[in-house]
Amino acid sequence: MMGIFNFFTQDLAIDLGTANTLIMHKDKLVVDEPSIIAIHRNSKEVLAIGSEAQKMHGKTHEDIKTIRPLKDGVIADFEAAEQMISGFIKLINSKNTWRSPQLRMVICIPSGITQVEKRAVKESAERSGGREVYMIPEPMAAAIGIGIDVAEPMGNMIIDIGGGTTEIAVIALSGIVSDESIRVAGDDFTNDIIEYMRRQHNLMIGDRTAENIKINVGAALPELENPPEDYAVNGRDLMTGIPKQIFVSYSEIALALDKSISKIEEAVMKALEYTPPELSADIYQTGLYLTGGGALLRGLDRRISSKTKLPVYVAEDPLRAVVRGTSVALKNLKSYRTIFT
């Protein structure tokens, strides 16, 4: 009987992020989509999710609205979050229409989240068909995802810069010893760029354009060894109201992001300050690990390294570190049971 039950149980590891949602099933990444949904204002019908909805963002007429259900790493729109999770799960199960399997999910959550916010994530998952729902703190999932043995009595520090939150945690003996969770992350970088373009160039740009600037010429230092080429930006001139194009350099973007990056540096320093001395000694040896989309910002590792005087490593494939770790924890539920919250 148990065999039949297992046959109908589907294990999903979900990284429900402010900017992107990633889902792994049987060690394969089956969903990697922006966390956004487009719905019809009157009928409330879901028109698109993920990248299809992202293409509509900022271009809709009054009958359609695009919603990003998560803000600062937590659910801001409960109904939209549930529709989005259900939609992504349908994408995976579109082949087996005759019977929907029982779902066992592990979802990662920011470490600085309240009980109410945690319950919202759990209920959203359950209403999307999750029969068993476990939750794992993001920095812990990131550590497992980059191959750290979290059960060792050895301190490791993870800096996970996502879309809505930056999670900084010192991990040892399968637990988080000290952590700092701040709501300054990739979305703030995007807003900084929009603000800078408006102030400096009198140019109005949308979220998607700002995101592209961040990806193409985003930097944490005004001087880089391998600088990217200047990037052409199209937007609306604030003086004339006419569309125009300008070129921006990575040094300008480094200037635009400076304040937000300083806040992240402060949080790193604070987390180091609260670390017990024995673990501090370990971190001096092991260094700091950067994960999440923010880790891809050019020169960020060097900037944090010069601030802390410690070695800083960018994880390979930092965007997927969290979902990989969540998937490993799901496969080894018994051995990782102490880390679920």
Across the range 32-60, mean pLDDT stands at: 90
Amino acid 6: pLDDT: 56
Q: Give the total residue count for the chain.
A: 341
pLDDT surpassing 90 at residue 73? no
Amino acid 7: pLDDT: 56
Q: How confident is the model at residue 286 (pLDDT cuts 50, 70, 90)?
A: very high
Question: Is residue 172 within 8 Å of 154, Cβ to Cβ?
Answer: yes
Q: Give the sign of the dihedral formed by CA 165, CA 168, CA 172, CA 175.
A: negative
CA dihedral 168, 174, 178, 184 (to 10 degrees): 20
Q: Tell me the per-residue pLDDT of 47-60, one tens digit each, with 9 for 90 and over.
A: 999 999 998 888 88
Amino acid 95: pLDDT: 57
Across the range 164-179, mean pLDDT stands at: 92
Amino acid 96: pLDDT: 56
pLDDT surpassing 80 at residue 296? yes
Strands (E), the chain: 9-16, 20-25, 28-34, 37-40, 46-49, 64-67, 70-71, 74-75, 102-109, 130-137, 156-161, 166-172, 175-182, 203-204, 231-237, 243-248, 288-291, 312-314
Question: Is residue 294 within 8 Å of 183, Cβ to Cβ?
Answer: no
Question: How many CB atoms are located within 10 Å of the residue 99 CB?
Answer: 7
pLDDT surpassing 90 at residue 5? no
Question: Is residue 182 within 8 Å of 264, Cβ to Cβ?
Answer: yes
Q: Which amino acid is located at 44 in the chain?
A: K
pLDDT surpassing 70 at residue 297? yes
Across the range 133-149, mean pLDDT stands at: 93
> DSSP code of 43?
T
Q: Tell me the per-residue pLDDT of 94-131, one tens digit each, with 9 for 90 and over.
A: 655 555 678 899 999 888 888 998 998 899 889 888 88
Percent of the chain's residues with pLDDT above 90: 72
Let me know the angle formed at the C-alpha of 226 by 224 and 228, rounded to the nearest 5 degrees: 90
Q: Which of 190, 338, 339, 184 is nearest to 270 (CA)?
A: 184
pTM comes to: 0.90
Top pLDDT among 278 and 341 is at 278
pLDDT surpassing 70 at residue 178? yes
Amino acid 261: pLDDT: 97
Across the range 66-76, mean pLDDT stands at: 89
Top pLDDT among 89 and 215 is at 215
Sheet holding 175-182, edge to edge: 175-182, 166-172, 156-161, 288-291, 312-314
Amino acid 1: pLDDT: 39
Provide the β-strand partners of residue 245: 234
Q: What is the mean pLDDT of the chain?
A: 91
Amino acid 74: pLDDT: 87
Helix (H) or strand (E) holding 81: helix 78-92
Chain CA centroid to CA 238, Å: 32
List phi, psi (to 5°) of 23: -130, 130
Top pLDDT among 26 and 229 is at 229
pLDDT surpassing 60 at residue 2? no
Q: Domains (ranges, CATH) in the chain?
A: 2-138 (3.30.420.40), 142-184+263-321 (3.30.420.40), 186-256 (3.90.640.10)
Amino acid 3: pLDDT: 46
Provide the β-strand partners of residue 235: 244
Helix (H) or strand (E) holding 119: helix 115-127
